[in-house]
């Protein structure tokens, strides 16, 4: 279940959550706007399907990333090498056109006194991915949250994704991926640590400002 804070996020001010019926009505309006008939047989159930789909796409708004990382383990026998989880597949949507962003994230951290279950790193990526956003923001949010909660010596996040707002409309350029990175602590200060991480994930040429 989402935390109270997460649940309230969509129920304050201008972001008050509309009812399911209102959401389905909006889909019917969009169908009419593009020139089709929402009452024809093939589209009768489409508003409900679209609403349920967006309930999944926006699930991250109801998840508290701090709660995901809350349970940690301190019995690490002095382990102080980097922990890396690579090729975390995700699906997100851009906030400009609400079209898919599909890609992979690579996450690493250098533990100070505690570690977190590796599944939690994948869940953090998913929690931030299932929202409307730009890739740069998502990359920063993942790294900053891990740094804040785990307080490691450093965090590194690289996100490599294709944006359908570029491949299916506008310039229509397929086969183009966007790569973003966020390096904190030792990964930013120590070039050798950063190179080791980038080599492990197969992105040796990512530039860090």
Active site residues: 94-97, 135, 163, 165
Q: Whole-angstrom Cα distance, residue 26 to residue 9?
A: 21
| H/E element, 119 | helix 118-129
Strand partners, 193: none
Q: Whole-angstrom Cα distance, residue 171 to residue 69?
A: 39
Strands (E), 49-82: 72-73
Q: Whole-angstrom Cα distance, residue 56 to residue 104?
A: 19
């Amino acid at each position: 279940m989402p935390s109270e804070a997460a649940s309230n996020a969509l129920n304050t001010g201008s972001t008050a959550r509309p009812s399911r019926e209102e959401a389905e009505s909006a889909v019917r309006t969009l169908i009419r706007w593009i020139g089709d008939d929402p009452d024809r047989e093939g589209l009768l159930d489409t508003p409900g399907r679209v609403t349920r789909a967006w309930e999944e796409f926006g699930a991250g708004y109801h998840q508290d990333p701090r709660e995901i990382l809350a349970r940690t383990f301190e019995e690490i026998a002095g382990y102080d090498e980097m922990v890396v989880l690579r090729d975390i597949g995700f699906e997100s949507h851009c906030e400009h056109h609400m079209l898919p962003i599909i890609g992979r994230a690579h996450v690493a951290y250098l533990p100070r006194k505690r570690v977190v279950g590796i599944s939690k790193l994948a869940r953090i990526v998913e929690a931030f991915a299932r929202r409307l956003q730009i890739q740069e923001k998502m990359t920063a949010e993942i790294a900053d949250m891990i740094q804040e909660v785990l307080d490691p010596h450093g965090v590194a996040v690289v996100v490599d994704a294709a944006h359908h707002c570029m491949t299916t409309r506008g310039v229509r350029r397929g086969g183009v991926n966007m790569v973003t990175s966020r390096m904190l602590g030792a990964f930013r200060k120590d070039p050798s640590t950063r190179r080791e991480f980038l080599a492990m994930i197969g992105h040796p040429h990512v530039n860090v400002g």
